[in-house]
């Protein structure tokens, strides 16, 4: 065969062993189609396989020069290649459908996060599952995507000749149709909503040439209409000083073209979203596109509405509540260029935007930007890499920036990329930061108070009712979900297959495992037959307090004419329930919105004058070095819901730990207090951002086999770490701790072991681990996960 060109192909086989791409030749009849990003059919070990073209070149050597990020192993293998032995690709099955950066970013992620290349590539592919190969009768292969049919809609409009047509008096339906079309084209779906069946009328008027019917592609998933007044994105007449400073920093970064990072450190309500909107306007006017990441939890109709009312049809939205069809349509809107702005959760980063000119990550500190399954990437790091490669700015925004972002801005750069912080310490107009009152629950209890609400919170709630205002009440149930505990021996029932504590569900009288889903029927005290699984005592009683209990207390406290709206996992199960509850709250004259952490973020209701936190202590004492940062962020965010309008706001935080630095920092509006305390702890105990933290997890049903595999992998990894060029300037050498049993020792009948690596920032831990993995090799029944920059270490 005469090869016209060569391509580097990633096989669609999710295996660490096949993670490296392979070189194939392109026959001359396929040379026009085999472009980077397309899907090809190749022969691999005498079997047909799907692959994705990563790079194209005139010679195999040209490929390695074109992909500097590529793992060295593949590069070495290819240099020894005998040109005659390179197999040709058999067919091009689908054209390119990815963002420009997909190949380089996939390589980078695969290396950085020690993940199979195909898993990283899949992030960029159209939604709807893995495509399959189908063998046709004639022996050839076809690509089969999971069937998600495209939606179409039919638009009815008047023809120029039809403008003056007057239907006969008796033709009621025709007259209705003419009336409906008088102001412009209408879809058949809308016509059928407005009138009962008009299809016969449409047919007969179409035959007369009065109306015409056109079919066009319908984009499912943009039907997000909301009555929320704050979902408007009208530009303010004048930007604040802080906003102007932020925009000039973004402009400077764009001019620079090096992929600089700008951190907007702005208190809640300081107008960060407005900065994003203005920055995007500028990017669009330069003919480029923009991607905005928002935590899933704040991807509400309100947030989306602000972007849609500014940029209209050009906005595609991605969140987990979309159906498969909606997701595919939104993706197609981006690919076809109809949408030039994308707003979405973490994975929106991978949608097929071309000419990307800006990435914004709102609430940059949010934990949901870290993916919990392979590839275990952090959206901030991937976005920074994209910005670097694409030479466009990355904008991060937060009222409580992560320790990582703050440290990089303090240094001014991180791994060669410039990081700049811009402060926005004030709210626009007359809106002031709320007063914060700490209610000491210890004192309340010693005074005989046994209510859910302390005296200050009780009085403030009654005040709100009297003044006909609105309040937001946070009851974070994380760590506070009801569970059963034996009052005699302190035993908390755990799952038989996992070592996690079980959550109690009152309505069904069941204990449920949130790791594996097992359900156990129980009768807690005082029911007859209640018994502790350990000591047999009958005092196995319910602990913790659910949102429903707080709701009952609220209803009992407040007059009947105050609307109480509860928002938690149970009350927001329906597709639009979340939006409907918020609209109810918006429309009410006087109301209390009670909810879990889902109400803490992003909501902008100017009439809210009181924010209460039922109990602030849940997270302060969790065995996780980020727990305090999370607690601080949550309190700061929820406090930020108060006083966004003309009336001043008040915040009341109930706690048993009034002197905790987190509570003190929130109460005094003094973040430095918290940051100092938190940084000192992290520096002393060697935690990020001062080091990089990697967690390697090994699990299997056979305890001894899992343990010995973990030991072997740890030993080789430690040796590889020592062989890396060390970084004396960091003042530390890499540390490997373990392996030990995980905090959750067992999950789904698997025994879990892990080891942790603390390494200087900039050291290539990933390569030490991936070469250890290939040296030790895969073992049947043993699973390994590598989590670079780990968040969850349980």
* Site for ligand ADP, rule CB under 6 A: 236, 238-240, 243, 266, 268-274, 428-429, 604
Residue 682 binds which entry of ligand ADP, Zn ion, none, with Cβ cut-offs from 5 to 8 Å by kind? none
Please answer whether residues 243 and 316 qualify as being in contact, where contact means their C-beta atoms are separated by less than 8 angstroms.
no
Sign of the torsion formed by the C-alpha atoms of 319, 321, 322 and 323 = positive
Smallest distance from ligand ADP to CB 240, Å: 5
Considering the rule CB under 5 A, would residue 489 count as an interface residue with Zn ion? yes
Considering the rule CB under 5 A, would residue 522 count as an interface residue with Zn ion? no
Contacts of residue 213, defined as CB under 8 A and 6 or more positions apart, other chains included, come to 154, 155, 156, 188, 202, 206
How open is the CA angle 641-429-591, to the nearest 5 degrees? 30
How far apart (Å, rounded) are the C-alpha atoms in residues 352 and 316?
A: 11
Considering the rule CB under 5 A, would residue 253 count as an interface residue with Zn ion? no
Q: Which of 631, 565, 575 is nearest to 599 (CA)?
A: 565
Q: Which is nearer to Zn ion, 235 or 489 (CB)?
A: 489
Please answer whether residues 676 and 403 qualify as being in contact, where contact means their C-beta atoms are separated by less than 8 angstroms.
no
Residue in 98, 384, 403, 513 binding Zn ion, rule: CB under 5 A = 513
Residue 548 binds which entry of ligand ADP, Zn ion, none, with Cβ cut-offs from 5 to 8 Å by kind? none
Q: Which of 73, 119, 124 is nearest to 101 (CA)?
A: 124
Q: Which is nearer to ligand ADP, 37 or 645 (CB)?
A: 645
Q: Which is nearer to Zn ion, 245 or 516 (CB)?
A: 516
Residue 553 binds which entry of ligand ADP, Zn ion, none, with Cβ cut-offs from 5 to 8 Å by kind? none
Considering the rule CB under 5 A, would residue 794 count as an interface residue with Zn ion? no
User: 3-class SS at 503?
Assistant: strand
How far apart (Å, rounded) are the C-alpha atoms in residues 30 and 652?
A: 68
Smallest distance from Zn ion to CB 517, Å: 7
Q: Which is nearer to Zn ion, 394 or 486 (CB)?
A: 486
Please answer whether residues 602 and 397 qualify as being in contact, where contact means their C-beta atoms are separated by less than 8 angstroms.
no
Q: What is the DSSP string of 146-197?
A: ---PPPEEEEEEE-GGGGG----TT-HHHHHHHHHHTTS-EEHHHHHHHSS-
Residue in 3, 473, 486, 613 binding Zn ion, rule: CB under 5 A = 486
Smallest distance from ligand ADP to CB 297, Å: 14
Residue 270 binds which entry of Zn ion, ligand ADP, none, with Cβ cut-offs from 5 to 8 Å by kind? ligand ADP
Please work out the total of residues on this chain that contact Zn ion, with binding judged by CB under 5 A: 15
Residue in 31, 97, 133, 516 binding Zn ion, rule: CB under 5 A = 516
Smallest distance from ligand ADP to CB 289, Å: 22
Smallest distance from Zn ion to CB 548, Å: 25
Contacts of residue 490, defined as CB under 8 A and 6 or more positions apart, other chains included, come to none
Smallest distance from ligand ADP to CB 431, Å: 7
Smallest distance from Zn ion to CB 744, Å: 10
Considering the rule CB under 5 A, would residue 518 count as an interface residue with Zn ion? yes
Q: Which helix (H) or strand (E) holds 444?
A: helix 441-446
Contact region for Zn ion (CB under 5 A) — 144-152, 442-450, 525-533, 721-729? 525-533
Smallest distance from Zn ion to CB 525, Å: 11
Residue 498 binds which entry of ligand ADP, Zn ion, none, with Cβ cut-offs from 5 to 8 Å by kind? Zn ion
Residue 244 binds which entry of ligand ADP, Zn ion, none, with Cβ cut-offs from 5 to 8 Å by kind? none
Q: How many CB atoms lie within 10 A of CB 530?
A: 17
Q: Which helix (H) or strand (E) holds 498?
A: none
Residue 347 binds which entry of Zn ion, ligand ADP, none, with Cβ cut-offs from 5 to 8 Å by kind? none
- Residue 224, judged by CB atoms within 10 A of its CB (0-12, 13-18, 19+), counts as middle
542: β partners: 484
Please answer whether residues 787 and 697 qualify as being in contact, where contact means their C-beta atoms are separated by less than 8 angstroms.
yes
Considering the rule CB under 5 A, would residue 148 count as an interface residue with Zn ion? no
Q: Which of 135, 34, 120, 144 is nearest to 70 (CA)?
A: 120
Residue 226 binds which entry of Zn ion, ligand ADP, none, with Cβ cut-offs from 5 to 8 Å by kind? none
Q: Which is nearer to ligand ADP, 185 or 428 (CB)?
A: 428
Smallest distance from Zn ion to CB 522, Å: 13
Considering the rule CB under 5 A, would residue 537 count as an interface residue with Zn ion? yes
Contact region for Zn ion (CB under 5 A) — 85-93, 507-515, 568-576, 609-617? 507-515
Name the DSSP letter for residue 371. Answer: -
Q: Which of 489, 483, 490 is nearest to 524 (CA)?
A: 483
Smallest distance from ligand ADP to CB 772, Å: 44
Which whole-number Å values give the CA distances from 663 to 224, 437, 633, in the listed order? 38, 10, 11
Q: Which is nearer to ligand ADP, 271 or 688 (CB)?
A: 271
Contact region for Zn ion (CB under 5 A) — 265-273, 345-353, 485-493, 501-509? 485-493
Pairing of strands 356-362, 394-398: parallel
Residue 269 binds which entry of ligand ADP, Zn ion, none, with Cβ cut-offs from 5 to 8 Å by kind? ligand ADP
Residue 486 binds which entry of ligand ADP, Zn ion, none, with Cβ cut-offs from 5 to 8 Å by kind? Zn ion
Q: Which is nearer to ligand ADP, 263 or 763 (CB)?
A: 263
Pairing of strands 591-595, 563-567: parallel
Smallest distance from ligand ADP to CB 269, Å: 4
x/- map, 436-475, Zn ion, by CB under 5 A:
----------------------------------------
How far apart (Å, rounded) are the C-alpha atoms in residues 490 and 574?
A: 37
Q: Which is nearer to ligand ADP, 221 or 271 (CB)?
A: 271
Q: Which is nearer to Zn ion, 22 or 751 (CB)?
A: 751
How far apart (Å, rounded) are the C-alpha atoms in residues 793 and 754?
A: 9
Considering the rule CB under 5 A, would residue 503 count as an interface residue with Zn ion? no
Q: Which is nearer to Zn ion, 156 or 540 (CB)?
A: 540
Residue 240 binds which entry of Zn ion, ligand ADP, none, with Cβ cut-offs from 5 to 8 Å by kind? ligand ADP
Which whole-number Å values give the CA distances from 277 to 238, 239, 269, 295, 390, in the listed order? 14, 12, 15, 17, 21
Phi, psi of 89 (to 5 degrees): -75, 145
Considering the rule CB under 5 A, would residue 501 count as an interface residue with Zn ion? no
Residue in 535, 587, 743, 794 binding Zn ion, rule: CB under 5 A = 535
Considering the rule CB under 5 A, would residue 532 count as an interface residue with Zn ion? yes
Considering the rule CB under 5 A, would residue 498 count as an interface residue with Zn ion? yes
Q: Which is nearer to Zn ion, 515 or 702 (CB)?
A: 515
Considering the rule CB under 5 A, would residue 485 count as an interface residue with Zn ion? no
Complete edge-to-edge strand list for the sheet that includes strand 186-187: 186-187, 152-158, 211-217
How far apart (Å, rounded) are the C-alpha atoms in residues 417 and 420?
A: 10
Q: Which is nearer to ligand ADP, 172 or 248 (CB)?
A: 248
Q: Which helix (H) or strand (E) holds 120?
A: helix 117-122
How far apart (Å, rounded) are the C-alpha atoms in residues 215 and 187?
A: 9
How open is the CA angle 439-443-447, to the nearest 5 degrees? 125
Residue 272 binds which entry of Zn ion, ligand ADP, none, with Cβ cut-offs from 5 to 8 Å by kind? ligand ADP
Contacts of residue 255, defined as CB under 8 A and 6 or more positions apart, other chains included, come to none
Smallest distance from Zn ion to CB 513, Å: 3
Q: Which is nearer to Zn ion, 529 or 725 (CB)?
A: 529
Q: Which is nearer to ligand ADP, 329 or 604 (CB)?
A: 604
Residue 535 binds which entry of ligand ADP, Zn ion, none, with Cβ cut-offs from 5 to 8 Å by kind? Zn ion
How open is the CA angle 776-781-787, to the nearest 5 degrees? 60
Residues in touch with Zn ion (CB under 5 A):
486, 488-489, 491, 495, 497-498, 513, 515-516, 518, 532, 534-535, 537
């Amino acid at each position: 065969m005469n090869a016209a060109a060569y391509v580097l192909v990633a096989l669609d086989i999710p295996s660490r062993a096949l993670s490296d791409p392979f070189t194939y030749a392109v026959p001359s009849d396929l040379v026009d189609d085999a472009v980077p990003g397309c899907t090809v059919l190749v022969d691999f070990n005498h079997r047909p396989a799907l692959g994705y073209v990563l790079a194209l070149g005139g010679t195999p050597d040209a490929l390695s020069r074109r992909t500097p990020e590529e793992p060295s192993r593949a590069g070495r293998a290819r240099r020894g290649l005998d040109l005659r032995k390179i197999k040709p690709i058999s067919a091009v099955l689908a054209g390119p459908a990815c963002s420009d950066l997909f190949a380089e970013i996939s390589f980078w992620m695969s290396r950085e996060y020690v993940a199979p290349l195909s898993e990283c590539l899949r992030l960029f592919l159209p939604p709807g599952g893995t495509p399959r190969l189908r063998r046709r009768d004639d022996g050839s292969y076809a690509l089969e995507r999971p069937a998600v049919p495209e939606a179409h809609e039919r638009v009815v409009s008047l023809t120029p000749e039809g403008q003056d047509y007057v239907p006969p008096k008796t033709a009621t339906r025709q007259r209705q149709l003419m009336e409906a079309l008088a102001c412009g084209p209408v879809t058949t779906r809308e016509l059928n909503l407005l009138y009962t069946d008009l299809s016969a009328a449409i047919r007969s008027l179409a035959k007369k040439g009065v109306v015409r019917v056109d079919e066009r592609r319908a984009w499912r998933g943009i039907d997000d209409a909301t009555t929320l007044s704050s979902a408007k994105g009208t530009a303010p007449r004048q930007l604040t000083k802080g906003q102007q400073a932020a925009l000039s920093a973004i402009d400077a970064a764009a001019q620079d073209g090096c992929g600089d990072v700008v951190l907007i450190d702005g208190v809640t309500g300081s107008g960060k979203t407005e900065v994003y909107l203005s920055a995007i306007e500028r990017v669009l006017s330069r003919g480029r596109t923009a991607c905005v990441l928002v935590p899933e939890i704040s991807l509400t109709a309100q947030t989306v509405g602000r972007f849609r009312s500014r940029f209209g049809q050009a906005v595609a939205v991605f969140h987990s509540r979309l159906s498969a069809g909606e997701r595919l349509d939104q993706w197609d809107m981006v690919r076809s260029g109809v949408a030039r702005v994308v707003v979405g959760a973490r994975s929106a980063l991978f949608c097929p935007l071309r000419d990307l000119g800006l990435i914004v990550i709102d609430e940059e500190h949010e934990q949901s930007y870290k993916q919990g399954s392979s590839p275990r990437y952090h959206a901030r790091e991937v976005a920074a890499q994209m910005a670097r490669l694409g030479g466009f700015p990355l904008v991060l925004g937060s009222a409580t920036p992560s320790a990582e972002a703050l440290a990089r801005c303090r240094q001014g750069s991180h791994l060669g990329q410039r990081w700049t912080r811009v402060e926005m310490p004030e709210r626009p107009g007359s809106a002031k930061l709320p007063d914060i009152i700490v209610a000491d629950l210890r004192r309340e209890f010693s005074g005989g108070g046994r209510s859910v609400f302390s005296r200050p919170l009780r009085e403030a709630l009654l005040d709100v009712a009297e003044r006909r205002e609105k309040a937001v009440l946070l009851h974070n149930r994380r760590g506070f979900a009801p569970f059963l505990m034996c009052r005699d021996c302190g035993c908390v029932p755990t799952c038989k297959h996992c070592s996690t504590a079980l959550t109690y569900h009152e309505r069904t009288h069941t204990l449920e495992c949130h790791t594996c889903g097992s359900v156990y029927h129980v009768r807690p005290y005082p029911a007859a037959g209640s018994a502790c699984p350990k000591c047999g005592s009958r005092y196995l009683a319910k602990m913790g307090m659910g949102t429903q209990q707080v709701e009952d207390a609220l209803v009992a406290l407040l007059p009947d004419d105050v609307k109480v709206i509860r928002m938690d996992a149970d009350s927001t199960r329906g597709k639009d329930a979340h939006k409907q509850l918020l609209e109810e709250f918006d429309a009410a004259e006087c109301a209390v919105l009670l909810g879990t952490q889902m109400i803490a973020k992003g909501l902008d209701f100017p009439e809210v004058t009181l924010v209460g936190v039922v109990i602030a202590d849940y997270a302060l004492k969790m065995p996780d070095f980020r727990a305090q940062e999370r607690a601080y962020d949550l309190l700061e965010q929820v406090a930020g819901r108060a006083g966004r309008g003309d009336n001043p706001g008040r915040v009341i935080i109930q706690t048993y730990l009034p002197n905790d630095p987190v509570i003190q920092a929130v109460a005094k509006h003094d973040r430095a207090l918290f940051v100092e305390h938190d940084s000192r702890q992290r520096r002393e105990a060697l935690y990020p951002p001062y080091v990089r933290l990697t967690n390697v997890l090994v699990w299997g049903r056979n305890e001894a086999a899992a343990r010995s595999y973990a030991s072997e992998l740890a030993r080789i990894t430690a040796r590889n770490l020592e062989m890396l060029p060390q970084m004396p300037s960091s003042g530390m050498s890499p540390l490997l701790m373990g392996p030990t049993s995980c905090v959750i020792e067992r999950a789904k009948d698997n025994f879990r072991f892990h080891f942790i690596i603390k390494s200087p920032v900039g050291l290539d831990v990933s390569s030490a681990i991936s070469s250890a993995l290939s040296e030790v090799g895969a073992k049947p029944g043993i699973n390994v996960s590598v989590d670079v920059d780990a968040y969850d270490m349980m």
